[in-house]
Structure 1
């Protein structure tokens, strides 16, 4: 090999080493940042893995396609149904829908928590105020 080829090979090796080191440092930093979030999410009481319907016997909880009282109803869950998988919750309806609603609807939606759930193959949204934490069998 010529001197020029040797220099090129050495520079290429140094570049590869630098890239590997940067990737390793980024991966280590990312794992340090994510680890506390993962353990916090599993231990968070407000976000249980499973829900049960918290309503009086004979009542039913509507399940909707989207997180809105105006969304299409896709099913219903009887009172005390358990084993409902929590896919995530958020508070209130989307802002544009809230802005275009009546004052009464705005007041209700400001306090309403919507939860995305899965139960017996049905996936949809329901009012979180009627759900409580449940433990799997």
Structure 2
């Protein structure tokens, strides 16, 4: 009967190892989830700190709640507006929305650079193709 305490100890050790593995896997999944949103939260070091709208006079650039053509419009910027704060840019819309879109929207969104911006208290996303580097006001 002396083997019983050894087998109980082995079972406890196995449970402890499984618990550590579960915690490690959970931590990895959480870190990957958080890191996938990191590009949305901060500007890339290659991007400028400030933008200006790169359009001919009379044009307006829509600002949207989310980085998508389908997202609610929260405002607009006039052509040649400057001093727009860059909060970070990324390419294309979120994957699930892209997957459920039409082929035409998929083609546009694959090439579209979305930039999260702030200007005079308005915060939102706009098409990066209409922005260029600017100096702070």
Q: Which residue matches 2:115?
A: 115
Is the CA contact 2:67–2:126 (under 8 Å) kept in the aligned structure 1? Answer: yes
What TM-score do you get using the length of structure 2 for normalisation? Answer: 0.67
2:90 pairs with 1:90: yes
2:55 pairs with 1:55: yes
Larger radius of gyration: 1
What TM-score do you get using the length of structure 1 for normalisation? Answer: 0.67
Q: Which runs of at least 4 in structure 1 moved beyond 6 Å after TM superposition?
A: none
CA distance in 2, matches of 1:43, 1:95: 21
Q: Which residue matches 1:30?
A: none
Q: Report matched runs for 1:10-49 at 5 Å.
A: 44=45, 46-49=46-49
Report deviation, 1:125: 0.3
Report deviation, 1:108: 0.2
Q: Which residue matches 2:67?
A: 67
Q: Which residue matches 2:134?
A: 134
**After superposition, what is the alpha-carbon deviation per residue over 1:100-133, rounded to whole angstroms, capped at 9, x for unaligned?**
0111100000000000000000000000000000
